[in-house]
């Protein structure tokens, strides 16, 4: 038995349990709850995890601080979370479910909109600033770090001065909606690739696509 396994034996955690936890991933789609927010740009995180759930034929159930769905794929467990705390308090739900499911920060992936990249551009990063995004800001504050994987979906910054809130809380245009149909399956593949192929390989395969 190697040194790491010996350590886990000493503190009472079975090696099998540790290995199982390393194969579990928390995927958090950011958004706001409520019918009026369903088709808004700020809710792309919800839309992407909904796409993943549909592809893997699982249904979200309301639970503590969010709606949750779980599935297994290629030997890995994926816990999908749509926080019910509203965007600005997303960190509370993220921290709760990380602790409940014993998810390491390396196995957390936050899916969010990004005003700073072109519409439909997909970008995965290992860390970063909140970029003025209140959901990411709260997650950083609650976790005490900005070093966690995130998947940013570009919504562009096509709005006039002082209209940012109206823009992100506005609904997709007809053109954007038609293009989303093409981007959502690729976005779902990013989620499963993160768990099965790892962060670095996923970044190499999908960034900028």
Residue 203 token pair: 């970044």
Q: Is there a binding annotation on residue 107?
A: no
Tell how strand 24-29 and strand 76-83 pair up: parallel
Q: Is there a binding annotation on residue 148?
A: no
CA separation for the pair 169, 107 (Å, rounded): 29
Q: Is 42 a catalytic residue?
A: yes
Q: Is there a binding annotation on residue 167?
A: no
Q: Is there a binding annotation on residue 8?
A: no
CA separation for the pair 136, 169 (Å, rounded): 16
Which among 29, 26, 27 is positioned nearest to 102, based on CA atoms? 26
Contact by Cβ (8 Å): 22, 107:
yes
Residue from 41, 42, 47, 150 carrying the catalytic annotation? 42
Pick out the residues of the known binding site. Answer: 37, 86, 88, 134
Q: Which residues are catalytic?
A: 42
Pick out the residues of the known binding site for tRNA. Answer: 37, 86, 88, 134
């Amino acid at each position: 038995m190697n040194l790491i396994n010996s350590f886990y034996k000493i503190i009472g955690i079975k090696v099998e349990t540790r290995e199982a936890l390393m194969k579990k991933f928390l995927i958090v789609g950011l958004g706001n709850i409520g019918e009026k927010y369903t088709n808004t740009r700020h809710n792309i995180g919800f839309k992407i995890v909904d796409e993943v759930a549909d592809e893997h034929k699982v249904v979200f159930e309301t639970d503590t601080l969010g709606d949750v769905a779980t599935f297994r794929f290629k030997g890995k467990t994926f816990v999908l979370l749509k926080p019910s705390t509203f965007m600005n308090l997303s960190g509370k739900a993220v921290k709760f479910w990380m602790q409940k499911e014993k998810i390491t920060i390396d196995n957390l992936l936050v899916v969010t909109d990004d005003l700073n990249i072109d519409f439909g551009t997909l970008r995965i990063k290992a860390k970063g600033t909140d970029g003025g995004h209140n959901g990411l800001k709260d997650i950083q504050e609650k976790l005490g770090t900005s070093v966690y994987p995130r998947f940013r979906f570009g919504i562009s910054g096509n709005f006039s001065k002082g209209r940012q809130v109206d823009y992100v809380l506005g609904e997709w245009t007809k053109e954007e909606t038609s293009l989303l149909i093409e981007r959502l399956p690729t976005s779902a593949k990013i989620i499963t690739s993160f768990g099965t192929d790892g962060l670095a390989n996923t970044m190499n395969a999908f960034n900028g696509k």
